[in-house]
Structure 1
């Protein structure tokens, strides 16, 4: 089985946590023993199936978590609702500060960076797409795409906007339209075009296809893979959708706030069985190395 990566053959060997530590040159971002404690004042916690809550039902306690995002790879983070997937994304992206552990991006431990430096990193080198698109409805498509550059004081480049739209298979004619006039799938591709034009290195996507129909979902995944080919170094996708995860190069399975499985590319059926089983497995049933 082959994955779709801009028409190139995806059958190459992928190193995962079960194969040993990836080569240093292959690492884009690395989390080491990252923990996040949601408890406040030592409140008593109660355990429920698939998650760990405090008595007020807040989010799970996270970690320790070890993750490496590798160059040229799309990583999917899957697991039951409430297990902490979105929290892990925020920890890796510098939105949340770990209680313990380190998050290395290049030679910087961003977990120790002050808030303003992490914010600048998110404006310049990290890009985000979310289930609700996070676009500004009052702005045009072109204005949304160049917004990060504008915030960073860079000049707008209509040619770059046109190229980005072309890469995500949107017509140039949408540049002047308000994003609220577009379909959900089109808006999500605008968000990906924004990531491309800002020359981001890492894309963080939290349920990027959650509000989309199957055709728009495929278009969005194609656009993410086009962005990888156009300059993104790595992507992390948080998803409940086995079809989305099957398009990734690597699958991380999370439960009770921890990563308990790391797999090579898996087909949709195997991912669905893993999610339904809710149990750690040493090897997927029919995993395919890529």
Structure 2
């Protein structure tokens, strides 16, 4: 099928530097302290700023079992930082009232530069050495490399930045019912996947303890049961992956190799 429906790790060229950032985080001065070293060794807090276009609101609310959907992201962040001698305080907004609505932008395609420019217009507080921040944008339309829409890409993590974008049109199309259970899990699993890239996985700032990078697909894991696997066979693979979590109630989606990397790098 070619394109993953789980997410995409994107190397972008910044207009302000006229050069490409790639590999590990923190290569641009506009995004201070956005490094795996800071996340796993020193920062005291990790918080999310969440922005959404009107009409492209993130899913909120609870599962039939009473679990808040945003607990999935929070539980995975807690799991990945459990090896810190003093784990950071993690703050994940879980209601629309805690998130920020921005006007509909009227765009059908978003390049990496477009997303960075949007961020510069709306973001709140900058990260500091003690307070790491990630900026999550929920957008209408599709991701584009500049040569047309990538209709199979649900989310992107912009290399060198703490910026993640989720494309709601693709999320809604991931299940037979656009407001059903499957798209809600798709949205959260994509957030976990993209946060994985932003934090430094796989071999993207956090060194590997054992070789598990799918080098043919960049910063992804070879473990098909890990959220960081490059699911290049489309919606059927993603749906099968998520069924395990929907049915079991388990929320931690990292494979043991990624957790081992986190443990080996944490202080």
TM (normalized to structure 2)? 0.27
Q: Which has the higher strand share?
A: 1
Q: Which has the higher contact order (CA 8 A, sep 6+)?
A: 2
